Amino acid sequence: MGAHGLPRLEADCSRCFGLCCVALPFARSADFPVDKSGGEPCRNLLADHRCGIHDRLLEGGWRGCVTFDCFGAGQQVSQVTFGGVSWRDAPGTAPTMYAVLPVMRQLHEMLSHLLEAAALDPDRSTEVALAGLVDEVGAATRAGPESLLAVDLVELRSRVGELLRTVSASVRERHRRRDGIRAQSRRVRRVGAGADLVGADLRGLDLRATDLRGALLIAADLRGADLRWADLLGADLRDADLRGAVVDGALFVTRPQLAAART
């Protein structure tokens, strides 16, 4: 467990039962070389729950594995929810274990964003609201399987999302005022939350404090762009070219997002 009784939010595959390699389905595509059904062990999964080709996943066409991150949900389900008893040792628990994993992953991702938001110096009322949600989501991660499967993720994500939106707006406005940030070209004006920027040429742009929440940035050229304090929550960065871009300080960007981009 992490600080204040919260789960660790980084994957520790040595303490997991290879759950992402069993529970999750995938289809033959640019990310995977074969089809696999949910609940079917990946052909590369070893008896000790390790990946047999972990050091050469990209070469074998397993890009989806490289960009996947459970945010520590795998070991939480394995060691806490199911008390260290694997699906191999107790096959009857397997379906429930597989169903719990994606729920736990979403909870861990929400926790990651909430903790990031709390560190951004929000106002007092927002700070209190964030602490309350951290406690609520943290408690959910420690619950039993039945309680986890009963979590209303849509409602919870809505509340978390609105609070993150509040923090994002405050932080971005703070930096706009402090640093005198303003749009530098017409290309910037079409950038915004949910924008369709697939393949867009955004090279070298000053995108500081821009709201790019949910933007489609697939294969966008962001070389040399400045993304400090830009809100990248849910932005699709698959194959986006981030070489030379300043991403440190961007808001709510995750490891899977960056792993899916070109850096």
63 and 128 share one domain: yes
DSSP secondary structure of 102-162: HHHHHHHHHHHHHHHHHTT---HHHHHHHHHHHHHHHHHHTS-HHHHHT--HHHHHHHHHH
Question: For residue 179, what pLDDT is reported?
Answer: 81
170 and 255 share one domain: no
Question: For residue 191, what pLDDT is reported?
Answer: 73
40 and 164 share one domain: yes
Q: What angle do CA 153, 156, 157 make, to 5 degrees?
A: 80
89 and 164 share one domain: yes
Question: For residue 34, what pLDDT is reported?
Answer: 96
By C-alpha distance, which of 186, 187, 225 is closest to 204? 225
pTM for this model (two decimals): 0.92
251 and 164 share one domain: no
Instruction: Name residues of the chain where pLDDT drops below 70.
Output: 1-4, 183-190
How many domains does the chain divide into?
2
Tens of pLDDT, residues 162-217: 999 999 999 999 999 888 877 554 555 567 778 899 999 999 999 999 999 999 99
Tens of pLDDT, residues 86-103: 999 999 999 999 999 999
Question: For residue 183, what pLDDT is reported?
Answer: 55
